[in-house]
Structure 1
């Protein structure tokens, strides 16, 4: 009995972090960041040393895809583990005076599954999937704590009038349409680091959907801005001033849009470094899987200049396109002692793979339904990696668009809402990653196979109908 007691005392003398077996999970989601905006993916102007170090110490994917090419449905695909032919939110549907169409009560999220497995869960940044008090409230979708912008429309402003802490509105005194006093990303970063401090002795899932570098283009004139302030020849971006309603801002004029954008990306990288440093200080880094990615392709809103920075890394298209520049995303996984350093994989994967990956490593309940496949074999190099027959995307604006990738082939369908206007484009991404040579008239058998995948993948939604009744 004496030996049992002594052993128990020895066990309790170790810090909880040393006893912890389930890994922490940190998921960092940039907003409108192009794959080419990061040094490890070829960026030559903007410096991203902290994200580059994650890649050097972990695994970089070269063929990873976001949920779709615009915000809310992409995030819905991420959190539900379902592509946009199945996921509940498939477009940006605004609700006034604040918020977007909420996730339904019936929708299961990865945070809910991790919470049921004993994880403390927190989200810090931009939500956009249901206002406080609705069925899509982040606290009702598995997050113990939320701090940031509940409404993605509000997140167009970096000096907003308020943020949300769970169900409490937090006024930001001094901020209005013209005055910029409290910089929201800095406040959100403080709460993010506090969450790690508070929960260091138990497994946690930390979701960081940062608003950077989404437009508007603005920020403090700090060391990041001063670094780029006089480096470029600039043309003043003359946007519209904010309208009479603060809840529906436009984009204001930006004196130096290129310098401002570069500073925003590097500031985001600095925040990533602070998270890594906090995990290191608390002796949590070795037991933490860190994922870094972006919600869609590069944007050109508010004066951003993706061509100048090569933000799409040479791929065609950008945000709102289903070409590679709109949906191919950076994806870096860092997990010391589990992921070998400086690895690169061309495994084809997408947002909906994260839910089964996280539930797999956390030994959490499986989702009722997912389009995803666990990436643990690719991350750890152990076991056999299952592969998708195809990946599928849809986008409901611009006449409606669909796309499917199967192996090296990609089929893009345009103007899908009106049959007489519908066109198809077929590309071989192995030989033509820039999607410049449409082979639709030369590969009819490939087209027919991929078109069947599109028909199979899309389940019509009454909330977000893709097809118009006319002409179909």
Structure 2
């Protein structure tokens, strides 16, 4: 699956790391790692990435205090495979969980997670919010068996569409919320997750920890407590949403703005708690989104230009579906107010976390640590290319090679069909297909697609395989 050049690149990354200040850190000083993940947040939904319809002061401050990664990509264009790529360090041509549906991570030693690697290296590990280990499952203990010492949240993505859960799971035990009805209720999931997060930080501030805070906002249902919606009522022309599978909402735009500002405040409270505990300078925080901007549940990504300058959104292989707003902050280590155009993706997080923790990076990964970029130390190894595949809406593939971007549609009908070709250095919005002008580039990208895709035992282009 992997070439000798891949191992050479990873070896180089390890060598470069030995030249950084991290190599001098003692055992008791190992850094904490927090990865905060939004759900369906578009590239243009933060003020620091161009949003003008509402403000995100805490995330904008995080960007001023740290680094914006302007060419960072999600694992996929929908939830489950994207999160699987984040947790396993592999892309959708190799990862087991490649689609939304009846699927969950297999038991170890299969589908090894970043939590397992860091736990084995002496870190306490936690996931709070929406599990990325199972799109649909009834196994509330799966996160704990896959390396998370602590888990609190939803184990299925369908249930996570609701912000007033009837049930959640804490370390394998089902917790019931009798005054919640799913679409309405008394206890908002975001409040529950924030409290659990702050409690977790209090409890584990004295030891190295990895926390994956996996939030729901702004995924539909459109829903947020009234105090977050109220500031935006009357500010926008609204078209009430009568509801379908998603919750009805009279003020979709005000609600969406409230959901993103709620998300922003959550990040602000986490950072404030780290300061209060005196561990902010020893904590790397990364914030990102699991895919591009959505258009569902009464919301359209066009209302607030949620994709920014990018084409498309969720379920597209164009940039708006997979390029995501990403910020990294680590006081004293990451230079404040910086930006990087380093091309990276979710599968790079696992090797990056290993380098931060001083843990051994597993073999057979697609990811390359971007720690040299974050620290501004040493030479950053680069990907030869990035690859994605997607099985809905006719089947899609995409590859990025330098500034070239190839997109293949209708893959379910023709695995070797024509490619669209875009030069992102001149055409960020992917409006001008130049495939006919560069046949040699098209052939190169098509070969990369063939190289990157490994057949899955449970899904294939054209049809889903029987279990």
Tell whether the structures are fold-level matches, with TM greater than 0.5: yes
Structure 2 residue aligned with 1:369, among 364, 373, 379? Answer: 364
2:457 is aligned, of 435, 448, 462, to 462
The structure 2 residue matched to 1:32, chosen from 40, 46, 49, is 40
Distance of 2:184 and 2:75 partners within structure 1: 35
How many Å apart are 1:135 and its aligned residue? 10
Alpha-carbon distance between aligned partners in 1 of 2:152 and 2:199, rounded to the nearest angstrom: 11
Aligned with 2:159 (options 154, 175, 184) = 154
Q: Which moved more, 1:364-373 or 1:452-461?
A: 364-373
Which sections of structure 1, spanning at least 5 residues, go unmatched? 1-17, 95-99, 241-249
Change (3 A) 1:294 1:103: farther
Following the alignment from structure 2 to structure 1, what is the Cα–Cα distance between the partners of residues 121 and 461? 36
Q: Does 2:110 align with 1:102?
A: no
Name stretches of at least 5 consecutive residues in structure 2 with no aligned partner.
1-25
Stretch deviating more after TM superposition (305-314 or 409-418): 305-314
Count of residue pairs the alignment pairs up: 439
Cα distance change on mapping 1:308 and 1:370 into 2, 3 Å: same
Residue 14 of structure 2: aligned partner: none
Match of 1:23 among 17, 26, 31: 31
Cα deviations by residue, 1:366-390 (Å, 9 ceiling, x for unpaired) = 1132101111110001111000010
Task: Tell me how far apart the structure 2 counterparts of residues 208 and 383 of structure 1 sit (CA, whole Å).
Answer: 30
| Secondary structure class of the residue paired with 1:101 | coil
Shift of the alpha carbon at 1:128?
Answer: 4.3
- Deviation of residue 300 (structure 1)? 0.9
Q: 1:235 aligns with which of 236, 239, 246?
A: 239
Residue 125 (structure 1) aligned with residue 129 (structure 2): yes
Q: 1:178 to 1:117 in 2, by over 3 A?
A: closer
1:8 match: none
1:62-85 CA deviation, whole Å, 9 max, x = no partner? 111000100000000000000100
After superposition, give the CA deviation of every residue in 1:152-203 in whole Å (9 maximum; x if it has no partner): 1001110121111111111112112564111111011100111100001000
What residue is the counterpart of 1:327 in the other structure?
322
The change in CA–CA distance for 1:468 and 1:162 in structure 2 (over 3 A counts) is closer
Q: Which residue of 2 is the match for residue 41 of structure 1?
A: 49
Quote the Cα distance in structure 2 between the aligned partners of 1:162 and 1:135. 11
The residue number in structure 1 matching 2:410 is 415
Q: Secondary structure at the match of 2:257?
A: helix
Q: Indicate whether 1:80 and 2:81 are aligned.
A: no
Is 2:385 the partner of 1:382? Answer: no
Pairwise CA distance, 1:284:
0.5
Deviation at 1:253, TM superposition (A): 1.6
C-alpha distance in 1 between matches for 2:390 and 2:330? 33
Q: Which residue of 2 aligns with 1:71?
A: 79
Alignment of 1:47-446 (within 5 A): 47-94=55-102, 100-105=103-108, 106-130=110-134, 134=139, 137-176=142-181, 179-222=184-227, 224-240=228-244, 250-419=245-414, 422-446=417-441
Deviation at 1:121, TM superposition (A): 0.4
Using a 3 Å threshold, how does the CA distance of structure 1 residues 420 and 59 change in structure 2: closer, same or farther?
closer
Deviation digits for residues 367-424 of structure 1 (CA, Å, limit 9, x no counterpart):
1321011111100011110000100001110111000000000000011111299442
Residues 63 and 349 of structure 1 are in contact (CA less than 8 Å); yes or no, is this contact kept in structure 2? Answer: yes
Q: Secondary structure at the match of 2:126?
A: strand
Cα contact 2:307–2:320 (8 A) shared by 1: yes
Task: With the length of structure 1 as denominator, give the TM-score of the two structures.
Answer: 0.90
Q: Deviations over 1:197-246 (max 9, x none)?
A: 00010000010010111100012101x21111121110111222xxxxxx
Shift of 1:433: 0.5
Q: Distance in 1 between matches of 2:418 and 2:219?
A: 31
The equivalent residue for 1:245 is none
2: CA distance, partners of 1:440 / 1:187: 50
Could you say if the C-alpha distance between residues 177 and 346 of structure 1 is closer, same or farther in structure 2, counting changes exceeding 3 Å?
A: closer
1:119-169 deviations in Å (ceiling 9; x for gaps)? 000100101423777598110111000001111100111012111111111
Provide the rounded CA distance (Å) in 2 between the counterparts of 1:411 and 1:216. 33
Separation in structure 1 between the aligned mates of residue 145 and residue 442 of structure 2, nearest angstrom: 42
CA contact (8 A) 2:140 2:172 kept: no
Q: Tell me the C-alpha RMSD between the 2 structures.
A: 2.0
**Residues 420 and 86 from structure 1, CA distance in 2 versus in 1: closer, same or farther, beyond 3 angstroms?**
closer
- TM-superposed CA distance for 1:103, in Å, is 3.6
Indicate the residue corresponding to 1:449 in structure 2.
444
